Structure 1
Amino acid sequence: MPSETGIAHSYGVASSNNAPLLGRCSGFVAEHPQDAFHLPARRTSVPEARRRVSALLRAWGAAQQVRDDVELVVTELFTNAVRHTGSEKVGCELALVGTHIRIEITDQGGGGASAPQVQPGSVDKECGRGLFLVGALSESWGSRPDDSGLGRTVWADLPYTAAAH
């Protein structure tokens, strides 16, 4: 369902525009703070995804290190979805569950059937470091086919701590 900004949000998921109201969205009581959005699968959408995630994490009261790490993981996964798939749009979902934040980036497919993998020697290359960084910053990460069976969701769980007041 499109919001006033024209961005589609998942049903029952609080928009980042409503981050201070995270317990309630259209009568739905969220068990955990979460947000979802879709952007066109273009390079120019990557910084927009990073800005949205940064604003959301500030609203959730995340510590600066958490914001930095999540922004980097979202940047790498979103970039991979844009570069390596034939998607028209890419979805991003964040959920705060206890002491972890779950990031899910979903593409529409068209980039081959193989799951993303860290490439050997990727630390020393200009391209290919993304998944190495995701693995280094995440407690766990992986991928699965999306609900349609055509695309793929790449997820990562990062530790969450609130900012000191």
Structure 2
Amino acid sequence: MQIPNSRAAAKRARDWLAGPLRATHPLIADDVLLCLSEVVANVYRHTTTPTIRVETLIIEPSVVVRVHDNDPGPLPKPADPGGGGDIESGRGLTLIDACADAWGVTVLGGPEPRGKAFWFTLLGRPASAG
């Protein structure tokens, strides 16, 4: 999926993925959609890329999501947990770290980076594992 980098991008990405995800991986759908929202919102807030590309691989038992932008840096990093205070933003990667089984960033373009892809993976779990 490709969407314009706008305030509505996170909602559009969620709406696009929610149906297929709830049908195939209902136990982890909410966590995947939360992670997707956080990543797309970060692209909106921290880059000037005109288009956000979302790729999703939905297979048993996992869901892999990659969000591409054309800004090679700076690379995202979790907020300082010792920062204290009543922070209203900067916790997206902390949420992703708590929800995802794995995540990372791939710089695209080799020696002359042209963008990055933030990816995360969640593993589906049997209903009995609840």
TM range (shorter): 0.7 to 0.9
Residue of structure 1 equivalent to 2:57 = 95
Determine what percentage of the aligned residue pairs are the same residue.
Answer: 27
Q: Which has the bigger relative contact order, CA under 8 A and spacing at least 6?
A: 2
The answer for unaligned runs of 5 or more in structure 1 is 1-36
What is the Cα deviation at residue 82 of structure 1?
1.0
1:53 pairs, out of 17, 22, 26, with 17
2:41 pairs, out of 76, 79, 86, with 79
Residue of structure 1 equivalent to 2:88 = 126
Q: 1:129 to 1:135 in 2, by over 3 A?
A: same
Q: Per-residue CA shift, 1:91-141, capped at 9, x if unaligned?
A: 1111124422111111111xx622110010378511001000000001111
The alignment's TM-score, normalised by the length of structure 2, stands at 0.84
The question of 1:150 aligning with 2:114 is answered yes
The answer for unaligned runs of 5 or more in structure 2 is none
The alignment's TM-score, normalised by the length of structure 1, stands at 0.68
Amino acid at match of 2:67: I
* Contact 1:106/1:146, CA 8 A, preserved across alignment: no
What is the Cα deviation at residue 46 of structure 1?
1.4
Residue of structure 1 equivalent to 2:31 = 69
Higher helix share: 2
In structure 1, distance between residues paired with 2:73 and 2:109: 15
